[in-house]
Structure 1
Amino acid sequence: MDILTIKNLSISFGGLKAVDNLSFNVEKNTIYGLIGPNGAGKTTVFNCISRFYNPDSGELKFFNNKEYNLLNYKTHQVIDKGLVRTFQNVELVKTMTVLENILIGLQTNTKGNIFSYGFRLPGAIKEEKRIRKKALNVIRFLGLKGKEHELAASQPYGIQKLIELGRTLVSDPSLIILDEPAAGMNSTETKELAKLIIRIRDELNITILLVEHDMSLVMDICEKICVINFGKKIAEGSPIEIQQNEEVQKAYLGGEIV
């Protein structure tokens, strides 16, 4: 059963096609990889799905209990439907604690209003306890227990990436779009990240759509991979099929994909 379908997606900037008639489907509870050389259009695809960009044409359908035409929604509304994303660069509030940064992910998922919170009404107090407990559970899941009251700025880069990931997890998504989650990580951190992504899929039943330049990571954890070049799909299949595809190898400057 598919959770996301992309059909004939196209978008141009200044007359140049960034994404050209792209189609692929992401099956529920899988880890799906979107790869390609630099400038292939991967992040542009993500920006269309998460509604930062409006495509020129095509269909974007998200299935979470019901069917949603993503083109009818804005970014914050897409988050409410259960689709969230991370970014290539860490987007944390460095002057806030680990816990406070993760709580930001619940800003569209809280009950109550300014009046109830301002006057500390019973409902608001109960809601604050609920969201705090939720954030602490995410912190434990990420292995960050004990760091919740430390400043985000004081954390190593790898931990900061986990905090950003935690901010997506706390909103109870059905699909997470990860934009180069291993960027800037060393080999040990990347191996731990791979294990974590698999746990997110297996233990939390969250589907993952992944863009990543670390081919070892992609080949190790993705069940299916779509390869694009100059905005067009040139291959789709299992990691083994992608590694053996001649057109994919040519796209990567003639090198073998490992």
Structure 2
Amino acid sequence: MCTTLEKTENNMEMHQEREDLELPMFELAIITKATNNFSLSNKLGEGGFGAVYQGTLADGQEIAVKRLSNISRQGLNELKNEVSLIANLQHRNLVKLLGCCIEANEKLLIYELMPNKSLDYFIFDQSRSELLDWSKRFNIICGIARGLLYLHQDSRLRIIHRDLKASNVLLDHEMNPKISDFGLAKTFGGDQTEGNTKRLAGTYGYMAPEYASEGLFSVKSDVFSFGILLLEILIGVRNRGFYHLESGLNLTGCMETME
């Protein structure tokens, strides 16, 4: 059992964490009620970070709640990173973060609800993909490109997303794309254009070769990921898992042979 001193220290740490985030804080009771106690019927999906739930606040606003799992590799630092980055970003092709909650061992991010889920929900499903005609796909591609351009050139700091993929592109009620999940993003200041890391983070199949092999990342890393995503949107198959029997090539390899 925790001693009184340990409880006091934990409360002080939690208070400091809330101050560091500099974002509207939601009470856990409010989010629990909004999501019907994180019921399975309200669950939108799940990733390596944990689960995402839909909910409705008392004023009728619909929200999506990203609930960080206790066993996730993404911890408080990644949550703080995502909050500090996206809280100061304003662009029509970036998902809007409404607030967060750190209470009773829960780490939650509260976003605007994207009613049409994520891009992978459509492009990799044979029946749902038919809902995306070429004009819609073109609009999605252009929207993602505009969002990346803002991150790389027009925001206050140059931001490298490092995990751009179909599941991290959300779609609003008009099928407009919004880039999400900035837990692994990195910022560059001044004239810095390239970074290096010994801890690779991201999704295999979308990683640029120089990043996967040497840990080098830059705006080119996101451009490579965007290129893979572009192929997936156009062709409707995942880069990971695609294998051409005759040539023995993956998706990108097949495209190179067609040039």
Q: TM-score, normalised by structure 2?
A: 0.25
Q: TM-score, normalised by structure 1?
A: 0.25
More strand by share: 1
Higher relative contact order (CA 8 A, sep 6+): 1
